[in-house]
């Protein structure tokens, strides 16, 4: 029996949360499905290899910004020549529409538009731009309730037209590990009594690193043993490094870069800070909570992402963040009453059923 062919569409293969969601689900289904990924931007070699080693066929197409006509033509050609049973687009509401349109023209019967963001602004624009997406997509997905309402409209959610597919993980992988804590701390010169504030995220405006640096600068004045551990890459990395230099904090801020596997780094942290300006349902926050970390989260992050009683949702008030992080105790790492909704074992059959139906 031949495998069902699925083509995922993503912006790049650079270590984003969306890519990790694709990997978490689809790497567990290669016995039944054959997966291609169409991406645009220059890939991170380590992340690309991870996908290729897991059996994904990764295909780069021209950049839609620099070469829009070539981009559209190559996408259409790939859809037509690939003989896909399913096209699954992760470009969010306004760009999922053109992907699903091209897939329809190419004769793909099942076209999935997957919404991963919950924008706090541009609501009227969202309402207008979701119209073509609804016309050309056969299946409407979202990572959570907020992303579903934002991407597809509350009425569609209430009518049961949207499938919620959480950003699920393997909970066992992210449990606190004392050996991993010691290994990572030794690698980066972090002392046993150092208080480590951690963050995992790309250096993009959305992640609000500038606010995090301002918080840490004040925190360090109160707790001289505080260190900041940052994982990720992105266009704002150089600017953030300059900001840290201007504060004189270069010796207490650690840039760990983009990690193929960030799992052990959570155990090295004492608290997790996540001051994003908007999010759908951030995968890294789910991972941090399953590690048992105290998490401090912006009020702009959807409330459904808070699955631990040790997670606090805060307004972006500098003094408040400094006060709450400073008073945190990072010793106890037991996650009380884990939420099974984010267990990949529970959610995997949902996506399998969509692909196979």
Domains recognised in the chain with CATH numbers: 4-165 (3.40.50.2000), 171-326 (3.40.50.2000)
At 161 the pLDDT is: 97
CA pair distance 172, 190, nearest whole angstrom? 25
Full pLDDT tens readout for the chain, 357 residues: 789 999 999 999 999 999 999 999 999 999 999 999 999 999 999 999 999 999 999 999 999 999 999 999 999 999 999 999 999 999 976 799 999 999 999 999 999 999 998 876 767 777 888 899 999 999 999 999 999 998 899 999 999 999 999 999 999 999 999 999 999 999 999 999 999 999 999 999 999 999 999 999 999 999 999 999 999 999 999 999 999 999 999 999 999 999 989 999 999 999 999 999 988 889 999 999 999 999 999 999 988 999 998 999 999 999 999 999 999 976 567 665 557 789 999 999 999 999 998
How much is the pLDDT for 337?
57
Task: Kindly list the distances between the CA atom of residue 109 and the CA atoms of 106, 139, 206, 245, 269, in Å, as whole numbers in the listed order.
Answer: 9, 11, 35, 54, 46
Cα(61)–Cα(231) distance, rounded to whole angstroms? 28
Asked if 185 contacts 266 with a C-beta cutoff of 8 angstroms, the reply is no
Find out whether 96 and 115 touch, Cβ atoms under 8 Å.
yes
Q: Assess contact for 240 and 217: CB atoms under 8 A.
A: no
Cα distance between residue 164 and residue 346, in whole Å: 13
């Amino acid at each position: 029996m031949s495998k069902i062919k699925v083509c995922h569409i993503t912006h790049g293969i650079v270590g984003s949360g969306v890519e990790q969601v694709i990997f978490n689900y689809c790497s567990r289904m290669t016995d039944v499905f054959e997966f291609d990924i169409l991406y645009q931007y220059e890939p991170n070699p380590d992340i690309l290899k991870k996908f290729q080693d897991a059996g994904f066929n990764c295909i780069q197409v021209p950049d839609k910004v620099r070469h829009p006509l070539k981009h559209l033509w190559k996408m259409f050609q790939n859809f037509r020549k690939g003989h896909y049973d399913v096209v699954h687009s992760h470009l969010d509401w306004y760009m999922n529409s053109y992907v699903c349109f091209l897939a329809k023209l190419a004769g793909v019967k099942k076209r999935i538009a997957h919404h991963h963001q919950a924008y706090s602004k541009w609501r009227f624009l969202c309402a207008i731009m979701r119209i073509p997406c609804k016309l050309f997509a056969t299946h409407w997905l979202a990572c959570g309730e907020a992303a579903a309402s934002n991407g597809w409209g509350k009425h569609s959610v209430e009518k049961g037209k949207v499938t919620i597919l959480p950003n699920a993980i393997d909970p066992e992988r992210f449990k606190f590990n004392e050996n991993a804590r010691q290994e990572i701390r030794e690698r980066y010169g972090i002392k046993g009594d150092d208080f480590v504030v951690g963050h995992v995220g790309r250096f993009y405006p959305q992640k609000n690193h500038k606010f995090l640096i301002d918080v840490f600068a004040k925190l360090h004045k109160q707790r001289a043993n505080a260190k900041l551990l940052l994982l990720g890459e992105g266009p704002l990395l150089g600017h953030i490094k300059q900001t840290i230099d201007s504060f004189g904090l270069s010796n207490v801020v650690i840039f760990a870069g983009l990690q193929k596997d960030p799992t052990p780094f959570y155990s090295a942290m004492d608290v997790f800070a996540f001051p994003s300006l908007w999010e759908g349902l951030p995968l890294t926050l789910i991972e941090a909570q399953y590690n048992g970390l105290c998490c401090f989260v912006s009020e702009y992050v959807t409330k459904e992402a808070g699955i631990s009683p040790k997670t606090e949702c805060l307004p972006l008030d500098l003094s408040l963040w400094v006060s709450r992080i400073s008073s945190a105790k990072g010793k106890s790492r037991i996650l009380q009453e884990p939420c099974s909704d984010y267990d990949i074992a529970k959610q995997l059959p949902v996506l399998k059923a969509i692909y196979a139906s």
